[in-house]
A = this chain, B = another copy of it.
Amino acid sequence: MRIGFVGLGAMGRGLAGRLAKAGHEVRAWNRTPPAPHLLGAGIAVAAALSDLATSEVVVSMLAHDDAVRAVFIERGLLQALPAGAIHVNMATISVKLARELGDRHAALGLFYVAAPVLGRPDAAAEGRLQLLVAGPEAAIARLDGLWAILGQHVWRFGDRPESANGAKIASNLALACAIEAMGEAAMLAGAYGVPAGPYLEMLTATLFASPAFRMYGTLIAEDRFEPAGFRLALGLKDVNLALAAGAEVSTPLAFASVLRDQFLDGLAHGEGDHDWSAVVKAGRRHAGRA
């Protein structure tokens, strides 16, 4: 397939590389041209956005709403695509923008598929992402050959793109909650003589026995928040996406509100570039245990 790829950050590079390696014709564009050695073989770097105008499929993995809006709406990539083209947006964006994009694509005779992911850059590069997918069924079916390249499992959430984004935002919220929960629990156990290391080893071998929690448990136990796998400032962005999605449907989210304050506390203490699991340090400071 002739695939346009937009957004060559750590996640995007891995995905674009996999598509190229699988034999697809990949033409990729990034706001700032990527260093060639970072790109996998077989990826043509587009000098201009308009070079993507002949794509059958455009896959995008951008950082946030504003970037998506800039590329597809303001700089006109949507208008440039041929009727019938499919846009697969893998970024974590707001439900509001997802809904708007769905409408704009439909109005132009394009197909919009939301496919936000669970997983970090290493999982992206190794095809282990979980794909949360929603959009027009026919379009999703046409991409049958791509899904197995992009990730490990496709979770289908209906034909309204924003459903996949709602599910993704909710999942990041749940994960942030679990991180805070591990932080509070480890701090409490620690106050009674159980060090965070053995405590979180136990917790993530029993109740919290999932690979994600084991990984975060290790970071917390070892106070290893740099370099960031996912920046605390982006964690706040995601909590804000959850709060905004909740507000749109008059739905208070009690834990999310607390998290927002803990993340702000982290920012206020210069930890915006630490891993988002450093959010547990706010609670430690409140207890005079920083």
Contacts and interface: CB of A to CB of B under 8 A. Distances in A.
Interface bin, chain A: 35 or more
A242 B242 CA distance: 19
Contacts of A246: 188, 191, 264, 287
A147 interface: no
Residue among A132, A199, A283 with most chain B CB within 10 A:
A199
B261 A257 contact: yes
B167 A192 contact: yes
B198 A155 contact: yes
Nearest to A253: B184
A173 interface: yes
A36 interface: no
Contacts of A107: none
A141 interface: no
A192 B167 CA distance: 8
A268 B249 CA distance: 8
A177 to B, nearest CB: 3
B166 A194 contact: yes
Residue among A181, A283, A288 with most chain B CB within 10 A:
A181
A267 to B, nearest CB: 4
A147 to B, nearest CB: 15
A255 B184 contact: yes
Contacts of A227: none
What are the 9 tightest A-B residue pairs by CB atom distance, in nearest-first order? Answer: A166-B192, A177-B181, A268-B288, A252-B261, A250-B268, A170-B185, A174-B185, A251-B287, A209-B210
10 contacts: A162-B192, A166-B192, A167-B194, A174-B185, A188-B251, A250-B288, A253-B261, A255-B258, A258-B258, A285-B285
Interface of A: 95, 118, 130, 132, 153, 155, 157-158, 160, 162-163, 165-167, 169-171, 173-175, 177-178, 180-182, 184-189, 191-194, 198-199, 202-203, 205-213, 242, 245-247, 249-258, 260-262, 264-265, 267-270, 282-283, 285-289
